[in-house]
Structure 1
Amino acid sequence: MSPRVTFYTRTGCHLCDEARLVVEQVCAELGEEFAEVDIDADPELAARFGEEVPVTFVDGSQHDFWRVDPTRLRAALTR
């Protein structure tokens, strides 16, 4: 079974570092896993997301970018 949360990031991104903590915390709290993807490893993803990282997807749909709100993420994962 694949993780419900996909977290798109890039190295050296301070917003990614902050958002990762929120994603880790909420996923751990709810027993969910997440996949982290470095957009710079894939030219298509780098072109698609550009400077909008971090980008969070839940169940295959874009959920947030730049910031991750823990309450909103928790709600999306408990629906």
Structure 2
Amino acid sequence: MAEAQSIHPAAKANPFYAGSYDGKPYFSLAAEDRLRCVCTFDAEQCRTALALPDLQKGVVVALNRRLGLLKRTGQA
């Protein structure tokens, strides 16, 4: 039986959390990486991401579009 993985606290504060190395959290910073992540986000992750400082304009647009899609499909 596989053990449940614990979620790093940083993953809740920043949905662009990419993993950790030696106990230190790492995040996707490049717009291309962030855009790839957005298509899997739920509404809560989109709202959390939109509250982050210094997001690229294209990422903000993608997050708002994703949030709109989730609202139209009743998932937000």
Q: Which protein is bigger by CA-based radius of gyration?
A: 2
TM-score (normalised: structure 2): 0.27
Per residue, is there more helix in 1 or in 2? Answer: 2
Of the two structures, which has the highest relative contact order with CA contacts closer than 8 Å and spacing of 6 or more?
Answer: 1
**What TM-score, normalized to structure 1?**
0.26
More strand by share: 1
